[in-house]
């Protein structure tokens, strides 16, 4: 239900704009809008670039941008200044700049001036190179786009010539052929399509691949020949460029001052592709950066991750520390100076020979110290974090497990800087449709006139499909269906489906390809995988339906004779299914018919009588003629005339009562003028074979499913144009309904209607389809009609049943109106349409007025299948301590059922439903629930307080008791009210799962915002549709599912995945890794900087706080920049604490990240303490060694420095969880680099680098054994505590992570193989079994999953499905269970290990189902590898638990 909201709104706007263009009303509104825009002075005049306008043109067009685009930030000339400017917006860089400037002040100068600049220059250069490369790639793309060719009318040559996009100007005429990309926003002036329409594909704009129609400006439609730009003498006035894609207002002013309004329907947007239209001509109104597409580009979103926020606070701590140290230095220096009664020898006076007083010298010293100790602020950290994140993202994107074979898509990381947030998620907000489910709507059941039709054959078909599911989908990929498919494929399909453009050269293609490509083509379109399209009709219903053919006149004479009420109901039901939608029909291979049809499209109007006669004649003839599928050319003759007459028939049908309105609507110049279907309806109907070639392009999968269902009953939707719908009834032949109105779906009414004129009865009929809750209230409440009441009751029962089975339900109703009634309504509707203020409300009102007193026809149940692996994923995520909320627009029953199916709600959960009619009642209810939960929890807690879990989730509730909350949409509104927020949050915190039904997109985002802001937790929102966009944007991490519904969600997301199941690996593995890696790296950086800088600080105590450094400056600077920078980065990218396999199997490990265990204030301060200790050791061991000797300053610094290098690198080695050859290489490389540098520098630098000239220092030391001894002892003493700490931690207090690592390591290879093998087999087993209903499937799913991952918890879960559907699944289930038991032999070894492991960590899985502890213990402790009676025991345990389940249930 969520998705229709989106398309409904879109449709709504389209309709509004279409109808707003009608005749006088449109010019009226346009004048008005023009005036209003003129008043504000915001409009542009577009003048064609032609001779007689030349002067004016030059005057005006100068003001407008041309079509050249430049998305780059920099040019070659402004790169350096601009980039610097941008970079100095960062506080960190400013700090560095400040240091550089400070160092130029002679009084405080600590280093050589140039040297302090080095880090800044390096950082700036790295960032500048990165920016530059990014910009360059943009530049190349820009250039590529700017140099695309298009045909622009040239005044000189009087024809269209090829020009680059960049040379296109406002006012140019452009001629585009099929499949060309529109270079600029232009007004459509001509289309080869005789109806003046043109199809465009907006996939590049919004990812929607269904075609959209655009309309030639009215007045130009009639032109038979192509528009001649020379003769175009009008001028166009329109709004100033804006970014509103759904709005375009303006008018064309002809030379005779006549104005014609323009609307969105006339505008071709840059970047879209022309489809199915041979050629179009348009005049450019907006070009380049002023096009709507370009104006819609905003900069990339920049999010700061939680970890980075922490880093920032800790950097502030470092600043404080720095200031403290500098203060010590300053005071120390002052005191030291003042302790001398007279100036000592070594106190050098200022250049002018004077001495600075101690206080002032201390003040200067403060600044000198800041320069000296600057490294304490880890600037390199920021650069390193960036680099590490890039590396992490690279690895995530290359994960083969996140690759989806079916769609050939892998994960897209759109936000580059929040990867580590993936490891800290506490709440997940998930959409249901398309996210948890496949959004492949499958028609499952229907109920007509109170009679249910089970469609068992269809169910069987679906079962068989499940087995072949993968194959099918593979076939589906061959001809892509939606945007998730590679573009190329879509294109190829498109070109094939629109060969009308290729008539000239494509005849061979037509002949050659057609036969083979027909069948696959029918699947190209969205929502049309075979699962959805091939509905097997219910035998009983089919029989009843075919009776219609026997009384073929039943329909036409329905009101008079009423042959059988039920038959009429059935016929009407399917007609409604076929008509009441906005599906666009296209047939890939009937191009010629369309052409001919169009050429005769406007024949003189005949009388109604004539047409009726003709209809009768034709239908007779059609029945007699045999289909000729292969010979289209020959067969096209008669149908085309037939259809042409039909179209006349349609026009003529306008009854006298509404003549005026009809006139307006049918005004040939109006945009609503008869449009021909994209493809010939009649032609295809004539030669229709059992396999239809029709493609249905539906905007929502439900619609497609219903249309396909109708088709299965030979009630085939043949064509749809804005004015008519042709339905092919097997019994009656094609019927063309005059389409009077479409009242599109919207979330307020929750229904849509079409108003048609029945071709046989000539009555106005309203077909309505919508949510049962609304439709039921709108039914005709005539008490006399017992039959109808009966139907209503029974249907309601069926509906409830459907909902319980997790089917999406829709009610179908109709209403027959008399012409008078209709005319009356039409008048009011017309008023609504033409009003300018609050048009939408009036239209809504008008629609509501129409949709009353309906007759219920029946109801449908559509199944939306769960995506593969959803229950496993949800299970794993919950074990990981993540709370999952489901926010859906669906009704409560369906939502709860899907939630059950995907194990969001467990059968033994206590489910509270929050549904109240007022705010106060809601508050009361919440209090009651809260009390109840507390009571229950208290009772249970006493029961199980002794059992503690290491892996316990941070949730507050006792693990064995879980409450779940289901909230209704209306109640959600109350709950989101400020006064109830806190109690609501308190309530939800105690609930394991929350399901929000009937939630609007806005409510979804509000819920996310509320939880995120009030609970201060990390939230993740995942969704696939436009209705999830707001939620995705609000959450800390937004994940878009590139599914069936376009790209909006993906475009708004931070990460885009193709399957919900990928979420578990993304969070549990990559999230964990990214977080741990980055957190460890950050800590290491802090440690490294503090440890190193403190060496300098300690030295100050021995040099009179004078700011001397005992290391030469180059080594000092390079130490951070070169010698110790790469290893931590490698560590940050590649370190792997636990293998992916274990992480997936033990989702509990995720808690580490949630609690920020790795990087929290305590760990930060411990790290700093360790750094202090190590620096003390590093300084004082050499100090005591060399004390009193003749060592000079830089010879003293050298061992210090070398020891520090070893300490810092070996520290990293201790902290690393894994060491690969990369680590080792980098590590050794760093050390070698240091020595090579020091030796080279020492050998060559005779007089350079004054005053800290390290000449021959290293060389001298390399021959001195004391140097080595000092380095060794220093390194050992410095690292001993950390090493010992780690050892003791491992040995005495191993954290879950460490245990898991141990497990990881100890798992023999063979067991690993067993796991993978078993997983495969279980997967297959599941696939084969995934059939009958959502609920039973969920039960199997979970059981098999549990079996594969965690034996101890397998048994409690394997309870019988909480809802069994008819269809003999119980037998299968039994066999499944026994199959699983066989599996156990393989699983055994692993389980033993796991059991032991879990047991050792006092795991309390066994508590999950309370009563059956004893049973679980059996498999847990008696499993032994190779023991023959395992299966027996196992079975015993299983049976036992199953019995328990029964008791429980």
Partner 1 sequence: MAVNYNAKEEADGHPSGGVGAAGGGAAGGVGKSRKPDNTAFKQQRLPAWQPILTAGTVLPAFFIIGLIFIPIGIGIFVTSNNIREYEIDYTGTDSSSPCNKCLNVSWNSTPPCTCTINFTLDRPFETNVFMYYGLSNFYQNHRRYVKSRDDSQLNGDNSSLINPSKECEPYRTSDNKPIAPCGAIANSMFNDTLELFRIDNDTRISIPLNKKGIAWWTDKNVKFRNPSGHTNNLTAIFQALDTTKPVNWPQPVYMLDTLEPDNNGFINEDFIVWMRTAALPTFRKLYRLIEKRDSLQPTLQAGTYSLDITYNYPVHSFDGRKRMILSTISWMGGKNPFLGIAYITVGSICFFLGVVLLVIHHKYGNRNTSADIPN
Structure tokens, 757: 């004129």
Eight-class DSSP state of 958: -
CA–CA distance, 1435 with 1423 (Å, rounded to integer)? 12
In the bound complex, what is the minimum distance in angstroms from residue 546's beta carbon to partner 1?
41
CA–CA distance, 572 with 564 (Å, rounded to integer)? 12
Whether 745 has a binding-site annotation, put simply, is yes
Residue closer to partner 1 by CB (options 857, 1115) is: 1115
CA–CA distance, 38 with 387 (Å, rounded to integer)? 52
CA–CA distance, 514 with 499 (Å, rounded to integer)? 11
Residue whose tokens read 């409560």: 892
Whether 1310 has a binding-site annotation, put simply, is no
Residue closer to partner 1 by CB (options 294, 705) is: 294
β pairing state of 733-746 and 724-729: antiparallel
Residue closer to partner 1 by CB (options 938, 1268) is: 1268
Beta bridge partners, 900, equal none
Backbone dihedral region of 4: left (phi > 0), alpha (psi from -120 to 50 degrees) or beta? alpha
CA–CA distance, 431 with 411 (Å, rounded to integer)? 19
- Residue 958 sits at the vertex; the CA angle it makes with 955 and 962, to the nearest 5 degrees, is 85
CA–CA distance, 210 with 583 (Å, rounded to integer)? 10
In the bound complex, what is the minimum distance in angstroms from residue 1222's beta carbon to partner 1?
7
In the bound complex, what is the minimum distance in angstroms from residue 276's beta carbon to partner 1?
16
Q: Which residues form the catalytic set?
A: 431
3-class state of residue 1352 by DSSP = coil
CA–CA distance, 1233 with 1123 (Å, rounded to integer)? 7
Residue closer to partner 1 by CB (options 1159, 1255) is: 1255
Whether 998 has a binding-site annotation, put simply, is yes
CA–CA distance, 6 with 20 (Å, rounded to integer)? 21
The answer to whether the CB of 286 falls within 8 A of the CB of 67 is no
CA–CA distance, 1249 with 1305 (Å, rounded to integer)? 51
In the bound complex, what is the minimum distance in angstroms from residue 14's beta carbon to partner 1?
9
The answer to whether the CB of 481 falls within 8 A of the CB of 698 is no
Eight-class DSSP state of 867: P
Return the half-sphere exposure (C-beta side, CA atoms, 13 A cut-off) of residue 211: 30
Whether 714 has a binding-site annotation, put simply, is no
Eight-class DSSP state of 1223: H
CA 1134, 1139, 1145, 1146: dihedral to nearest 10 degrees?
-70
Residue closer to partner 1 by CB (options 881, 1182) is: 1182
| 301 Cβ contact list (under 8 Å, min separation 6) | 415, 1033, 1054
In the bound complex, what is the minimum distance in angstroms from residue 279's beta carbon to partner 1?
18
Q: Cβ atoms within 10 A of the Cβ of 673, count?
A: 23
Residue closer to partner 1 by CB (options 477, 761) is: 477
Whether 221 has a binding-site annotation, put simply, is no
Residue closer to partner 1 by CB (options 147, 464) is: 147
Which of 850, 585, 854 is closest to 743 using CA atoms? 850
Eight-class DSSP state of 776: H
Sort 349 into a burial class: Cβ within 10 Å, 0-12 / 13-18 / 19+. exposed
| 573 Cβ contact list (under 8 Å, min separation 6) | 446, 448, 449, 812, 857, 858
The answer to whether the CB of 167 falls within 8 A of the CB of 185 is no
Phi, psi of 813 (to 5 degrees): -140, 165
Whether 1004 has a binding-site annotation, put simply, is yes
In the bound complex, what is the minimum distance in angstroms from residue 40's beta carbon to partner 1?
23
Residue closer to partner 1 by CB (options 231, 1246) is: 1246
Whether 414 has a binding-site annotation, put simply, is no
In the bound complex, what is the minimum distance in angstroms from residue 1134's beta carbon to partner 1?
7
In the bound complex, what is the minimum distance in angstroms from residue 134's beta carbon to partner 1?
8
Return the half-sphere exposure (C-beta side, CA atoms, 13 A cut-off) of residue 997: 17
The answer to whether the CB of 876 falls within 8 A of the CB of 1072 is no
Residue closer to partner 1 by CB (options 505, 1190) is: 1190
Residue closer to partner 1 by CB (options 621, 1425) is: 1425
Phi, psi of 964 (to 5 degrees): -130, 155
In the bound complex, what is the minimum distance in angstroms from residue 289's beta carbon to partner 1?
9
Whether 432 has a binding-site annotation, put simply, is yes
Helix locations, 1245-1308, DSSP H: 1257-1262, 1265-1291, 1296-1306
CA–CA distance, 708 with 577 (Å, rounded to integer)? 9
Positive or negative, the CA dihedral 1111, 1117, 1122, 1124 is positive
In the bound complex, what is the minimum distance in angstroms from residue 1218's beta carbon to partner 1?
4
Residue closer to partner 1 by CB (options 330, 715) is: 330
- Residue 845 sits at the vertex; the CA angle it makes with 843 and 851, to the nearest 5 degrees, is 105
Helix locations, 562-636, DSSP H: 565-579, 591-599, 608-624, 632-635
Eight-class DSSP state of 1071: I
Beta bridge partners, 739, equal 756
In the bound complex, what is the minimum distance in angstroms from residue 13's beta carbon to partner 1?
7
Residue closer to partner 1 by CB (options 196, 1104) is: 1104
Sequence ranges of the binding site for ATP: 431-433, 703, 745, 769, 808, 888-890, 998, 1004, 1027-1028
Residues belonging to the binding site are 431-433, 703, 745, 769, 808, 888-890, 998, 1004, 1024, 1027-1028
Q: Which residues are annotated as a binding site for Mg(2+)?
A: 431, 433, 1024, 1028
């Amino acid at each position: 239900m969520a998705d229709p909201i989106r398309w409904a709104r879109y449709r709504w706007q389209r309709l509004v704009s279409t109808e707003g263009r009608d005749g006088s009303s449109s010019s009226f509104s346009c004048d008005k809008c023009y005036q209003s825009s003129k008043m504000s002075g915001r409009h542009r005049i577009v003048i064609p670039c032609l001779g007689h306008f030349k002067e004016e043109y030059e005057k005006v067009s100068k003001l407008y941008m041309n079509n050249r685009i430049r998305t780059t930030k920099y040019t070659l000339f402004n790169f350096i200044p601009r980039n610097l400017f941008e970079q100095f917006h960062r506080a960190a860089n400013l700090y560095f700049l400040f240091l550089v400037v400070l160092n130029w002040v002679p009084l405080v100068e600590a280093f050589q001036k140039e040297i302090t600049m080095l880090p800044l220059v390096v950082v700036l250069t790295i960032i500048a190179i990165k920016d530059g490369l990014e910009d360059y790639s943009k530049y190349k793309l820009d250039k590529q786009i700017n140099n695309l060719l298009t045909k622009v009318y040239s005044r000189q040559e009087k024809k269209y010539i090829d020009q680059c996009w960049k040379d296109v100007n406002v006012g140019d005429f452009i001629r585009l052929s099929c499949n060309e990309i529109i270079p600029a926003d232009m007004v459509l002036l001509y289309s080869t399509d005789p109806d003046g329409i043109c199809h465009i594909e907006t996939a590049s704009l919004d990812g929607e691949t269904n075609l959209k129609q655009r309309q030639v400006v009215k007045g130009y439609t009639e032109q038979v020949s192509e528009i001649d730009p020379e003769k175009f003498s009008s001028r166009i006035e329109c709004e100033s460029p804006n970014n509103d894609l759904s709005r375009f207002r303006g008018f064309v002013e002809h030379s005779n001052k006549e104005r014609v309004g323009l609307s969105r329907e006339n505008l071709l947007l840059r970047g879209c592709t022309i489809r199915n239209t041979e050629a179009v001509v348009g005049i450019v109104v907006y070009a380049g950066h002023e096009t709507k597409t370009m104006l819609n580009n905003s900069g990339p979103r920049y999010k700061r991750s939680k970890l980075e926020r922490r880093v920032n606070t800790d950097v502030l701590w470092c600043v404080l520390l720095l200031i403290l140290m500098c203060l010590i230095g300053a005071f120390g220096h002052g005191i030291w100076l003042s302790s001398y009664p007279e100036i000592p020898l070594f106190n050098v006076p200022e250049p002018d020979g004077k001495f600075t007083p101690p206080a002032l010298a201390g003040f200067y010293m403060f600044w000198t110290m800041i320069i000296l100790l600057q490294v304490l602020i880890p600037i390199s950290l920021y650069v390193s974090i960036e680099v590490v994140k890039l590396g992490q993202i690279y690895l995530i994107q290359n994960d083969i497990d996140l690759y989806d074979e079916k769609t050939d898509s892998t994960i897209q990381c759109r936000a580059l800087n929040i990867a580590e947030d993936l490891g800290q998620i506490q709440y997940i907000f998930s959409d249901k449709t398309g996210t948890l489910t496949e959004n492949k709507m499958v028609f499952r059941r229907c109920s007509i006139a109170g009679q249910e039709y089970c469609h068992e054959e269809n169910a069987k078909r679906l079962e068989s499909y499940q087995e072949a599911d993968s194959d099918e989908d593979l076939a589906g990929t061959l001809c892509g269906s939606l945007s998730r498919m590679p573009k190329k494929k879509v294109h190829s399909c498109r070109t094939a489906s629109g060969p009308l453009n290729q008539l000239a050269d494509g005849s061979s293609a037509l002949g050659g390809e057609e036969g083979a490509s027909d069948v696959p083509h029918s699947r190209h379109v969205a929502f049309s995988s075979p699962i959805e399209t091939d509905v097997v009709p219910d035998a009983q219903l089919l029989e009843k339906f075919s009776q219609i053919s026997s009384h073929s006149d039943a329909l036409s004479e329905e009101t008079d004779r009423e042959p059988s009420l039920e038959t009429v109901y059935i016929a009407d039901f399917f007609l409604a299914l076929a008509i009441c939608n906005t599906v666009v029909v296209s047939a890939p291979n009937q191009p010629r018919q369309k052409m001919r049809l169009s050429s005769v499209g406007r024949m003189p109007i005949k009388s109604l009588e004539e047409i009726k006669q003709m209809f009768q004649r034709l239908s007779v003839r059609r029945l007699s003629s045999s289909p000729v599928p292969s010979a289209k050319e020959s067969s096209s003759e008669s149908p085309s005339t037939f259809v042409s007459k039909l179209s006349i028939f349609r026009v003529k049908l306008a009854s006298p009562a509404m003549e005026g309105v009809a006139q307006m609507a049918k005004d040939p110049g109006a945009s609503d003028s008869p449009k021909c279907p994209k493809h010939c309806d009649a032609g295809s109907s004539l030669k229709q074979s059992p396999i239809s070639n029709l493609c249905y392009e539906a905007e929502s999968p439900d619609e497609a499913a219903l249309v396909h269902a109708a088709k299965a009953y030979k009630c085939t939707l043949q064509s749809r144009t804005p004015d008519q719908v042709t339905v092919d009834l097997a019994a009656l032949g094609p019927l063309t309904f005059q389409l009077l109105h479409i009242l599109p779906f919207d979330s307020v009414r929750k229904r849509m209607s079409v108003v048609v004129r029945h071709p046989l009865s000539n009555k106005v009929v309203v077909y309505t389809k919508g949510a049962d809750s609304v439709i039921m209230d709108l039914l005709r409440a005539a008490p006399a009609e017992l039959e109808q009441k009966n139907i209503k009751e029974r249907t309601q029962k069926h509906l409830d049943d459907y909902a319980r089975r997790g089917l999406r339900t829709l009610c179908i109703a109709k209403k027959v109106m008399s012409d008078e009634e209709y005319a009356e309504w039409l008048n009011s509707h017309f008023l609504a349409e033409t009003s300018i203020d609050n048009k939408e409300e009036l239209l809504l009102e008008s629609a509501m007025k129409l949709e009353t007193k309906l007759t219920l026809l029946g109801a449908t149940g559509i199944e939306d299948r769960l995506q593969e692996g959803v229950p496993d994923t949800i299970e794993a995520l919950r074990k990981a301590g993540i709370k999952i909320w489901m926010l859906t627009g669906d009704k409560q029953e369906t939502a709860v059922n899907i939630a059950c199916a995907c194990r969001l709600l467990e059968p033994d959960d206590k489910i509270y439903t929050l549904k109240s009619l007022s705010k106060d009642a809601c508050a009361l209810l919440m209090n009651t629930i809260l009390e109840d939960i507390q009571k229950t929890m208290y009772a249970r807690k006493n029961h199980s307080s002794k059992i503690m879990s290491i892996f316990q989730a941070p949730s507050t509730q006792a693990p064995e008791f879980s409450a779940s909350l289901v909230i209704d949409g209306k109640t959600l509104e109350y709950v989101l009210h400020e006064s109830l927020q806190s109690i609501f949050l308190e309530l939800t915190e105690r609930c394991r799962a929350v399901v929000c039904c009937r939630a609007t997109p806005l409510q979804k985002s509000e819920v996310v915002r509320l939880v995120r802001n009030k609970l201060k937790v990390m939230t993740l929102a995942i969704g696939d549709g436009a209705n999830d966009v707001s939620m995705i944007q609000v959450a800390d991490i937004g994940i878009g599912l590139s599914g069936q519904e376009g790209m909006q969600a993906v475009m708004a997301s931070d990460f885009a995945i193709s399957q919900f199941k990928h979420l578990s690996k993304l969070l549990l593995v990559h999230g964990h890794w990214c977080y741990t890696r980055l957190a460890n790296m950050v800590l290491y950086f802090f440690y490294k900087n503090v440890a190193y800088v403190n060496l300098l600080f300690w030295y100050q105590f021995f040099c009179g706080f004078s700011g001397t450094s005992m290391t030469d400056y180059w080594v000092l600077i390079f130490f951070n920049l070169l010698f110790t920078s790469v290893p931590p980065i490698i560590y940050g990218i590649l370190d792997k604490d636990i293998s992916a396999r274990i992480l997936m199997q033990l989702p509990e490990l995720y808690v580490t990240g949630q609690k920020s265990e790795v990087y929290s204030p305590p760990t930060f301060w411990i790290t700093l303490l360790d750094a202090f200790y190590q620096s003390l050791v590093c300084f004082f061991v050499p100090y005591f060694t060399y004390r009193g000797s003749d060592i000079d300053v830089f010879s003293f610094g050298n061992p210090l420095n070398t020891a520090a290098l070893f300490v810092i690198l070996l520290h990293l080695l201790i902290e690393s969880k894994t060491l690969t050859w990369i680590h080792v290489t980098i590590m050794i490389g760093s050390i070698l680099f240091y020595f090579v540098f020091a030796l080279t520098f020492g050998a060559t630098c005779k007089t350079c680098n004054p005053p800290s000239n390290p000449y021959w220092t290293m060389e001298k030391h390399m021959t001195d054994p004391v140097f080595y001894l000092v380095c060794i002892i220093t390194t050992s003493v410095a690292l001993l505590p950390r090493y010992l700490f780690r050892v003791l931690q491992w040995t005495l207090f191993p954290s879950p992570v460490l245990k898991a690592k141990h497990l990881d390591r100890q798992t023999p290879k063979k067991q690993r193989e067993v796991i993978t093998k078993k997983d495969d087999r279980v997967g297959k087993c599941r696939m084969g079994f995934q059939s009958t209903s959502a609920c039973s499937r969920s039960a199997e799913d979970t059981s098999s999953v549990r079996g594969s991952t965690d034996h101890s918890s397998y048994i409690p879960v394997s309870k019988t499905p909480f809802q069994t559907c008819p269809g003999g699944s119980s037998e299968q289930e039994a066999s499944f269970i026994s199959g699983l038991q066989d599996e156990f032999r393989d699983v055994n070894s692993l389980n033993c290990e796991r059991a032991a492991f879990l047991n050792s960590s006092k795991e309390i899985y066994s508590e999950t189902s309370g009563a059956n502890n004893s049973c679980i213990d059996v498999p847990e402790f008696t499993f032994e590898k190779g023991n023959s009676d395992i299966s027996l025991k196992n079975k015993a345990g299983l049976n036992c638990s199953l019995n328990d389940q029964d008791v429980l249930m």
